[in-house]
Structure 1
Amino acid sequence: MCVCGGGSPRRAAPNPRAPHWPPLLPRSRAPAGAMHSLVFLCAQKLAGHHAAARATLDFLPKELYPVLFKAAFVDKRTLLLQDLVRTWPFPVLSFQKLLRKCRHCDRPLLQEKPSKLCVQTVILGVVAYLNDAMEDRHRGPSKRQCLQVLDMTGLQDDGIDHGPESMSLWSRTVTLAKACIDVSKHQSKCIKRTSKRRKGPYSSLVALPPPRPVSVEVRVDLFVNSTSYGVLKDALQGNAHSALRLKCRDFRAEELSIASTVGLLEFLDPASVRQVDLRFNNLGLSGLRVVLPHMAKFTNLVSLKLPYSNIDVRRLSAGMEGSLHYFAAQLGRLSRLKELNLGSSRLSGKLRQLLGDLQGPLESLELAFCYLLPNDLSYLSQSLHTPALKKLDLSGNNLSDSLLQPFQHLLREASSSLLHLDIMECRLTDAHLEALLPALCRCSCLRYLGVFGNPLSTQGLKNLLQRTAALADLRLVIYPYPVDCYAEDLPWPPSSSSLLNGSVDEERFSRVSAELQQMLLSSGRADAVWTTNLCRHSTLDYFNL
C-alpha cells in the first residue's frame, strides 16, 4: 500500500504468488514473565497457520528460519517443524543454538524437558529431507538442500520425571537408531534403481552423471542398555556408508556385557567422544582390563565414569594385583582426562596407585562409597589434582573418625578452586561439622554443598547457614532432616538407613524449614536455595560446572 500526496491510499496490484499472511493477534500461550520480541510474536502467529507458513517458506529470508523454528517448537507446530527441517537453508541445525534464550524469546527451552512430539518431528524431517534428496540425486544444487549436520546435543536429561510428553535420552537414542536403519534401507533401494538404469539397453548411448552425494551427520549423546543394544548396534554398523550418520559426543551404557560394551565402543568415532559413562555393568577389574584399552583411541575423552563397576581392591590375589596395575596404566593413557567417577568401588588404600599415572590434574573426582582410608585422603591432598579440583564427591565415606583430619587438610588445599562438594551420608555430627567449618568457609568459590544424610541437629544446621552465608557464590545446599525432627528416638549415632527410613515429624520440620528461610532472608541471601529435595536438583558433571 502506498500513499500519494494527500489523496486516498491506492492498493497495489495483488501478487498471485505471494502467500496469504494471517492477521496479527495478541499472543496467548506465552508463560508468565516471558519476554518476546515483535518478530517472535509474528513468528508464533504465522506458525499457527500451517498452510500460509508453508507457502511463505519460498519467500522467507533465511535469517528468519531460526526464530520461526523456535516459535514452532514452543507451540508444538509439528507440521511446520517438519517443513522447516526439509527446507533448512543452513549447513547446521543445532538444538543448543535454536532453543536457548535469545533476543527474540527469553524462554530457555534447553533447560526444560524436551518435547517428545517435537524431537520426533525434527528427526522425521531429516529423514524426509534425505529421502527427497536421494529420490532425485541427479538434479542441480538447490538452495534449500543445505543441511549437513543435525546437532541434538545439549537437550536436558536428568533421568527422572519423564512424563508422556517428554523424551528421555534412551528414547532419543532408539528413535535415531531406527531412523538410521530406515534411511539405510531407502538408500539401498535408490542405489539398486540407479544401478538398473545404468545397465539398461541405452546405457552405452547416454552417460548418466554420477549421483550427487547427500548425507547428514547427527551429533548426539547416546544411552544404551540391554534392551536397546541390538537396534543401536545395527545403526552404528552401517554408520560409515549411511546417509544418516551418528556421531556420538557422550556415551552411556548400562547393564551390558563386556563383549557388548567393547563392540559398541569400536563403532564410535574416535575424535568426537568426550565422555564415556559405564555403570551397572558389573565389569570388575578383569572386565575393565578388557574395556579400557578401547578408550585410548578417544583422543578427546575428557570424562570417564565407572560407578557401580564392582571393583574391590581390599583382598587382591596376585593376578588381580596385576589387573590393578594395568587399569592404572590404561587410565594414564587418557591424556585429556579431567573427570573421573569411581563411585561405589572399594578402593581402600589404593588411590595413589590408581591416580598416580595420570598425566594431568583432574578437575572432577567422584569417590562416593569407596571405603577410603586416611592415607588415600593424605595422598589426594598432596597430589597435583587437589589445587585444580572443581568438584569433589566423598559421599558415603566415614569422615567422622580417622578421615576427619586428612579431610580438613584436603579442603584447605582445594579451597581456591572447589565449586561443588558432596559429603552426604558421611556420619558427620554437629561437632564434626564445627571442626570442618574453618576449612569449608575458605572455599570462597563454592556453589553447591551436599550434606544430606548426616546426623545434624537444627542448631547445627543454623550454625552452618550462619557461617557459610558469607560465601557469595553458594547458591544450593542439600541439607538433611534434623535429628531432632524425627518422630521417634533415633539410635545414636544413627546409621544412614535410620535417617533415610525414619519417620519425620512434618509439622516440626516445617517450622525448622521456615526458620532457615527466614535466616537466609535476614542474611541477604534470598538467592540461595536450602532444600532437602535430592530429586529436583541433579548432580552436575564436569561440563556443567
Structure 2
Amino acid sequence: MGWFGASGGAPRSMDSLLFLSARRLVAHRPLPTVPAQLYPVLFQAAFLDGRPLVLQDLVAQWPFPVLNFQRIVGRHELCRDHPSKLCIQSIILAVVEQLRRDLEEPGCDSSPCRLRVLDVTGLQDDAASHAPDGMSVWSGTVALAKACVEVSKRQQEFQKRRSRSHKGSSGAAAAPRSVDVHADLFVNGTSYGVLWDALQAGNASPLRLKCREFQAEELCLAGIVSLLKSLDPSGVRRVDLRFNNLGLGGLSLVLPHLSRFPNLRSLRLPYSNVDVRRLIPESVLGIRCLARELGKLQSLRELNLGSSRLSGNLRHILCKLEAPLESLELAFCSLLPSDFAFLSQSFHAPALKRLDLSGHDFSQTLLQPLKHLLEETSASLLHLDLMECRLTDSHLATLLASLQRCSLLRSLGLFGNSFSMAGLKDLLWKTVVLPDLCLVVYPIPVDCYRSGLDPGWILEDQLDRECLGAVSAELGQMLESSGRPDVIWTSNPYGHRALDYFSL
C-alpha cells in the first residue's frame, strides 16, 4: 500500500498504523532498506520527532526527483508546530553534501539519490510563535543562500583543480548534477549581501535558488533593484516591498523591473511613504509612471497600497490595469468619496474577493459610498476588513443590509470600532445566515469599559475583563442556538493568521 492515495493527499490521521510504524522505524539508525513509496512517511515521522540525522539519511537516498516539503510535512498541525530549525538545516546540509560528492566524483552514478528539485516554499515563520528552536523565514533565507554560495565555491575550486591537472586534454567533463531550490525569499539590509552572492551564481551553480515570493524590508533602493534583476523571472508570483521608504520617486525606479516577471500575481507595497495628496508636478509624473508600470503587469490580481496617502487619485493609479483585481488592500489610504465612486463603477468591483479599507472614517461622508461599494462587490467578496473605522451601532445598522448581500463572505474584520453589546448581537443575528462565514473579529463593546469614552482612546486598565468574558460566552451561546457553533467570533485581532490571496 503506497503512501499517497489516488487523490495525492496525505493519510487521514497522524496516528495511522503506517505513521506509527514509521515513527518506530526512524528511532533507530541506520534505516533498513525500504520501498521508495515509504520515504515520504518516514520523512514526516523523522521531522515530527526531531531526528535531523535520519532526515539527512533520507535525503541522501531520496528516490524521487522532487522533495516538496510542504506537501509532505506542512499539512499536519503537529509537524507545523514542531521546532524545525535543526531539521531544516539538516535537509539543506544533506543536499549540499550530495552535490559536493558529485563534484568530487564526476561521472559516478552510484548514488541512489535522484533529487533534482527541493521545494521549501510556504515555510511558516517559527520565530513569530517564539518557539525556542524555531527558524524564522529570514534565517531560513540566509541558510539557503549560504548553502548556494558554499556549493558554488566548491565547484569553482574543483574546476580550478581539474583545469590544472588536465592541461592539454581535449576530453569534456560530464556535467555535474544540479538541484533547484524553490523558496520564498525574505531579505533586509543584514542578509542582502549573502543573498546577492547566492543569486549571482545563477544557473552556473549546481545549487540554484528559484524564488516564488520575494519580500524585502528596510532595504535601500539600489539593493532592491539589484536583487530583482538577479531573480529567475519564471517562478516569481509575489513581490512584497514594505518599510523601505521608497516614496513615489523610488517606486517609479523599482516598478519597471517587475515587468520581467510574467507570472507576478501579487504586488504588496505597504508603508512605502507614498503621499500624492498634493498634486505638484513631481507627483503627477510619479502617478503616471506608477499607473503605466502597473498596467504592464498582465497577471496582476492582488495589490496592496496600505498606508499610502492616495486622496482622490485611485482612478489615476489603477487606470492602466487591463484585468480586474481580486484582492485590494487600501488600509489607511486617506481615500475620498471620489475614490469610492471610481472603485464602485470600475471592473474591479464585481471581481474583488478580498477588500481591506481599514483606517478610514466611515462615520460621515464615506458611509454611503462604502455601502454602495459593498453592494457592487457582494457577488464575489470573501474577506472584508473594516478595522478602526469609527463605526458605531447606527453606522452598522446602515451597512447590515449590504453585508447580508455578500452571500459568499468568509471573514469579517471589525476590530477597533465602537459597537455596543446590542449592536454586536444585531450583527450576529443578521450575519449568521451567511453560509460560508467562519470568522468575525469584533470590537470589544463599549459596555465593557468603565468610562463612556471611545474605546480607541481608553487605557487597558479601564477594560472590565469579567464583562468581556460574559460577552464572549453570550455570543457563543447565540451561535450555538442558531445552529452555527462552527463560526469563530473573537475580539483578538492577532489570534488568526491573515488569510493569504493564494489560499482564496
TM bracket (short chain) = over 0.9
Tell me the CA shift for residue 157 of structure 1. 3.0
Deviation readout 1:496-527 (Å, 9 max, x if unpaired): 4x157573111111111111111111111110
Deviation readout 1:146-200 (Å, 9 max, x if unpaired): 111100012223872232222111010011111111111211222122222213x
Q: Residue type of the partner of 2:324?
A: P
In 1, Cα distance between equivalents of 2:82 and 2:252:
37
Determine the structure 2 residue equivalent to 1:21.
none
**Structure 2 vs 1, CA of residues 529 and 255 (structure 1 numbering), >3 Å: closer, same or farther?**
same
Tell me the CA shift for residue 35 of structure 1. 3.9
RMSD: 1.8
Gaps of 5+ in 2: 1-11
Determine the structure 2 residue equivalent to 1:365.
328
Q: Residue type of the partner of 2:84?
A: S
Indicate if the aligned counterparts of 1:112 and 1:156 stay in contact, CA closer than 8 A: no
In 2, Cα distance between equivalents of 1:512 and 1:233:
52
Deviation readout 1:273-326 (Å, 9 max, x if unpaired): 100000000001100000000001011000000000011111121122111111
**Matching of residue 458 in structure 1 with residue 408 in structure 2:** no
Determine the structure 2 residue equivalent to 1:127.
96
Between stretches 417-426 and 510-519, larger displacement belongs to 510-519
Q: What is the DSSP-based 3-state SS (H/G/I as helix, E as strand, rest coil) of the residue aligned with 2:359?
A: coil
**Structure 2 vs 1, CA of residues 158 and 519 (structure 1 numbering), >3 Å: closer, same or farther?**
farther
Indicate if the aligned counterparts of 1:184 and 1:238 stay in contact, CA closer than 8 A: yes
In 1, Cα distance between equivalents of 2:391 and 2:308:
21
Determine the structure 2 residue equivalent to 1:192.
160
Indicate if the aligned counterparts of 2:256 and 2:293 stay in contact, CA closer than 8 A: yes
**Structure 2 vs 1, CA of residues 227 and 248 (structure 1 numbering), >3 Å: closer, same or farther?**
same
In 2, Cα distance between equivalents of 1:210 and 1:362:
50
Q: What is the DSSP-based 3-state SS (H/G/I as helix, E as strand, rest coil) of the residue aligned with 2:129?
A: coil
Determine the structure 2 residue equivalent to 1:164.
132
Indicate if the aligned counterparts of 1:455 and 1:499 stay in contact, CA closer than 8 A: no
In 2, Cα distance between equivalents of 1:42 and 1:34:
13
TM-score by length of 2: 0.94
Indicate which of 268, 280, 290 corresponds to 1:317. 280
Structure 1 runs, 4 residues or longer, greater than 6 Å off: none
**Structure 2 vs 1, CA of residues 529 and 77 (structure 1 numbering), >3 Å: closer, same or farther?**
same
In 1, Cα distance between equivalents of 2:446 and 2:290:
42
Indicate if the aligned counterparts of 1:96 and 1:110 stay in contact, CA closer than 8 A: no
Alignment of 1:68-107 (within 5 A): 68-101=42-75, 107=76
Q: What is the DSSP-based 3-state SS (H/G/I as helix, E as strand, rest coil) of the residue aligned with 2:235?
A: coil
Q: What is the DSSP-based 3-state SS (H/G/I as helix, E as strand, rest coil) of the residue aligned with 1:252?
A: strand
Determine the structure 1 residue equivalent to 2:472.
513
Identity, in percent, stands at 57
Indicate if the aligned counterparts of 2:392 and 2:418 stay in contact, CA closer than 8 A: yes
Deviation readout 1:460-512 (Å, 9 max, x if unpaired): 1111111111112111111111111112331xxx374x157573111111111
Determine the structure 2 residue equivalent to 1:41.
20
Tell me the CA shift for residue 72 of structure 1. 0.8
Alignment of 1:360-399 (within 5 A): 360-399=323-362
Indicate if the aligned counterparts of 2:83 and 2:126 stay in contact, CA closer than 8 A: no
TM-score by length of 1: 0.87
Determine the structure 2 residue equivalent to 1:348.
311
Q: What is the DSSP-based 3-state SS (H/G/I as helix, E as strand, rest coil) of the residue aligned with 2:435?
A: coil
Determine the structure 1 residue equivalent to 2:449.
486
Number of residue pairs matched? 493
Determine the structure 1 residue equivalent to 2:484.
525
Deviation readout 1:365-417 (Å, 9 max, x if unpaired): 00000001011111101110010110000000111111111111111111111
Q: What is the DSSP-based 3-state SS (H/G/I as helix, E as strand, rest coil) of the residue aligned with 1:276?
A: strand
Tell me the CA shift for residue 245 of structure 1. 0.7
Indicate if the aligned counterparts of 2:357 and 2:386 stay in contact, CA closer than 8 A: yes
Gaps of 5+ in 1: 1-32, 102-106
**Matching of residue 401 in structure 1 with residue 364 in structure 2:** yes
Determine the structure 2 residue equivalent to 1:180.
148
Tell me the CA shift for residue 39 of structure 1. 2.1
In 2, Cα distance between equivalents of 1:35 and 1:66:
13
Indicate if the aligned counterparts of 2:126 and 2:134 stay in contact, CA closer than 8 A: no
Determine the structure 1 residue equivalent to 2:7.
none
Between stretches 232-241 and 292-301, larger displacement belongs to 232-241
Indicate if the aligned counterparts of 1:113 and 1:157 stay in contact, CA closer than 8 A: no
Q: What is the DSSP-based 3-state SS (H/G/I as helix, E as strand, rest coil) of the residue aligned with 2:365?
A: coil
In 2, Cα distance between equivalents of 1:142 and 1:94:
24
Which of the two has higher C-alpha Rg? 1
**Matching of residue 536 in structure 1 with residue 504 in structure 2:** no
Which has a greater percent of helix? Answer: 2
